[in-house]
Each structure stands twice: as C-alpha cells, then as structure tokens.
Structure 1
Amino acid sequence: MNDLIPMLGGSLGNPFELIDMPIDDWVTQFVDWLVNTFRDFFRTWVSPPVKTVMEWVQWLLTSTPPLAVLAGLFVIAWRAASWKVGVFAVVAFAFIGFMGVWEELMTTLSLVITSVLFCLIIGVPIGILCSRKDMTYTLVRPILDIMQTTPPFVYLVPAVMLFSIGNVPGLVATIIFAMPPTIRLTNLGIRQVPGQYTEAATAFGSTPRQILWKVQVPLAMPTIMAGLNQTIMLALSMVVIAAIIGAGGLGLLVFQGLNRLDIGQAFVGGLGIVLLAMVLDRITQGLGEKAPGSRASSDD
C-alpha cells in the first residue's frame, strides 16, 4: 500500500507518463507507405503537367527581351490598377534588373505564376462546390486548416521523397500551401452575394448554371480577387523556401547568401522578393477594385 501511493501520486501529477503516443512513428510509416505506393503515379501523372506549364511560362519570360517584358508589365498594371501602379511596377522591375538578377526574377515569377494558375484551376471549383453544399465545406474545412497551419518546411520532405529535388517538388508544395485562401474566399464570396440578385435571376428564368456564372461569380469577384491576392503572397513566400530543395530564382540567392554568410547576396535576393511582392500585390488589388462586384456594392 505504501508503495502504491507514490506510484499513483506520480501518475496523477503527470498523467502523460501513462500513455505515450508515437505520432512521429505513425507519420513516418504513413509517408513511407505513401511514397512506396504512389511515387510512380505522382511522377508519371502529376509531375509532367506541372513541369510543362512551368517550363512554358519560364521560357516565355526568359526568352522575351527585358524591354518587352517591362512594356507588357506597364500595360497590365495600368489596365489592372492605374498608370501610377504601372510606373511603379516598371521602376521596381528595372531596379531588380540593374542589380543583376533579372534571370532570377523571371524564374521566381514563372514559379509564382505556375503555382497560382494551378491554385485557381483546382481551388475555384472546390470553393464553388463548398458554397453550394454545406456538407462539402464541413468536410473540406479541417483539411484547409491543416494546409494553412502546417509549417511550410514540413511540406518539403514528402515533396522531395515523391518528386526528387528541383522545381517540381517546390511547385507542388507551393500549390498545397497557397491554395486554401482561394478556396475559402471563393466560398465566402459566393455565399455573401445578396439573395435579391439570385431571386431576380431566377424570376427571369435563369438556370442554376447561369445564376452561378453570370450573377454570383461576377458579384463575388472582389472577394475572389482578395483570395487570389493572399494566394500570390503565400506562393511567393513558399517559392522562396522551396529554394532549399532545388527551386531556383531569388530564393536561391537568399539561401546561398545565408549559407555563405554573404549578406550582400542575401540582401539583393530579399530586396528583389520584396519588390516583386509589392508589384503583384498592387496589381491584384487593382483587379479586385475594378471587378464588377465592387462596383455593384458601391452602387448599393
């Protein structure tokens, strides 16, 4: 009895000594099973389209003369936001080019464009489906929570095990990490469309598909663009981190600068990333402000 009292006291004082959950072993076993079972599938069916799109975008950006890129950037920023944003975008990109890292800028931009493109292709339909069915969003929501709260570095290990090193695993990890805002805000934007608009469309004989694409999606566009803005920022941050597993671009400059304690190189890469993020942010904000839904809400 005297021996039992200290034992119970210790267990009650620290109940974590009673049960040891080997979560790390379970996760390792699951990842090993996933890699052994689906590695060929991912490398055969997932890697080629991602790699092809990335290579086409990168070829387009790198083969185009810098002056043509700057001119196209000014037109895009001017039409999306304003001529002031266009001038700022040109000055920012030109400054990066004068620092001698134009090729790295184009590589980073191609990685961001490719990952955001896949985020939109996958995320917008899922967001629409979540807005149509509450049960779907109930099931998808915890997955989105895990995708958003998992530290970015955690994605790199299974990505490398499934795809080896290079740009493709970095892109796949970026797509997974950056997709949740697109899904969440597409769902939110469609749900927040006032009921009188859909009721009016129904009264005029519109089909559910017509109501979705001609009423709800245009009115939800400012919210969807806000999700796109967040997705771009997350994609840019993840692309930088993906330099650890072989993704190139400005992130590689930062990574190499840290490894070599070369503060100058790391600063140049970091400054280029900041300027690129500012340009993309201003352009997407301008697109959101000029969306049909923003004009409708201002009229209300």
Structure 2
Amino acid sequence: MFYLIGLGLGDSKDVTVKGLEIIKKCSRVYLESYTSILSCGLEKLEEFYGRKLIVADRDLVEQGADDILEGANDEDVALLVVGDPFGATTHTDLILRAKEKNITYQVVHNASILNAVGCCGLQLYSFGETVSIPYWTEDWKPDSFYDKILSNYNRNLHTLCLLDIKVKEPTLESLTRKKKEYLPPRFMSVSEASSQLVDIINKRGFQTESQELTGESLCIGMARVGSETQAITACSLKSMVHIDLGKPLHSLIIPAPSLHPLESEYLEQFRVPQ
C-alpha cells in the first residue's frame, strides 16, 4: 500500500492520529521537503514519530517517483507532505503513477493554507483563484499572476497569494557540470511580494476602467499559520513593503474591495496604523 499523508501546518504534533498510526507501521517513510516546510526540523519529526525519515527532495519526487513506489505492492510505503497532500500537483502525479502500477493507495488529509487562511477573518467562500508569486530576477519578471488578482478583485473576491520558496536550487554554474552545487534556501516574505506587486501597479498604471488596485489597497500578511508564533498584519500594499513578519512561511492576501461587516470587524485587530 502507498500512503500519501498530510502533516498539517504547525509542527510534528499536527499529524492526525490515523496518519501517525500509518507512519509507525510503514517499511519506508519519505518526507517531501521542497513544496513547503514545517516550523520544526527533521529531528523533531523523527523523535515524535519514533522512526527515521527519508528526505525526498525535488529530484526524487519528480524524477524518482518509481523509486518511492518501489515495493509498495508488497509493503507499506508513505510520503509525508506538509499541509494537505493535494496542495501540490506533484502529489496527484504520484497517485496516477501508483494507479498505473496497480498499487493500492490511501490519502490521509490534513489542514492546509487553503483552508487555514480563514484565521484572518475573511470568509472562505469569498476567495477566488489562488495565485503563486515567483521570485523575480534581473531579466525575468513575470506578472501574469497580477491579472488573476485583478480578476478576483473586480469580482469582489479575495485572493490568496502563495509565495515562492527556493529549496535545493542548483546554481547556474553547476548546471553545466556533472556535480551540482546548490543555492542557500530562500523563502519569499510578504515584504518582497508586496514590493513586486507595487512595482507592477506603478508600471501598468490605470490601463482600464475596472483596474482599481493601488499602493493604498488593503492587504493582509500572514506568517507561520498554524504554529504558536503565527503572525497576521493588515495594512496597505505600500506599507506591507516595510513589514517584517519574521521567519517563513509567509502568505499574502489581497482582500476584495468590499468586505462583509464581520470581515471588517475581525480584521481590525490586525490593522497597523498608517
């Protein structure tokens, strides 16, 4: 049996009872380590689970899926995923590969940022399409995600922005060599994401009558959702550029222009004086 187990958002204790029971009985347990992270490290997880974990980086999950699934017809194998297993398309691909090999599988769900985002007080059914904001480089500055934010905004829907993370990214120089060298891990902050959005707004200007986002528009910064050090701040986009919410992971929300009275009341506790 192949198990895909969600670990939730906080620390080692956020795993479900069902998930923990499965982890303890599996022959091999992999920990997916590149689509997200927990606030605790590998050692804390192994201590709580009472067993060793095999760290599965991007190369192993995306290119070595057959190695992960090897023997799963005859023994129990699990892949642990931060948040919920279906928060990333990579994991649906693993399920499809298991089905092709006639390997039975089971998914154990858990909390993800897609539902925990409600902790800021915005109503979940008023969210539109979720977007991802990538790191810019000097010669690569995509802004298509902004059009999706505008589409949500103009339909009076909130937008959850998932911020880029770079884990075990090879250096450009090492790509031409046989031995890869990796860049230090990077995790985009709400400050960096807001700065990129403000740059796009300033570059585009008001090109259509429907475009309403400005540097004064309300946004919400969230950090380490689900952990004891969770932080939430609400302010203008241009003010968020200067906000430091500390350690990762961060998420940014662009609320709809018109909020429900309960949403507005709840958000007041997180507002930063302008």
TM-score (norm 1): 0.21
Could you say which structure has the higher strand fraction? 2
TM-score (norm 2): 0.23
Say which structure, 1 or 2, has more relative contact order (CA 8 Å, 6+ apart): 1
- Considering only CA atoms, is the larger Rg found in Structure 1 or Structure 2? 1
Could you say which structure has the higher helix fraction? 1
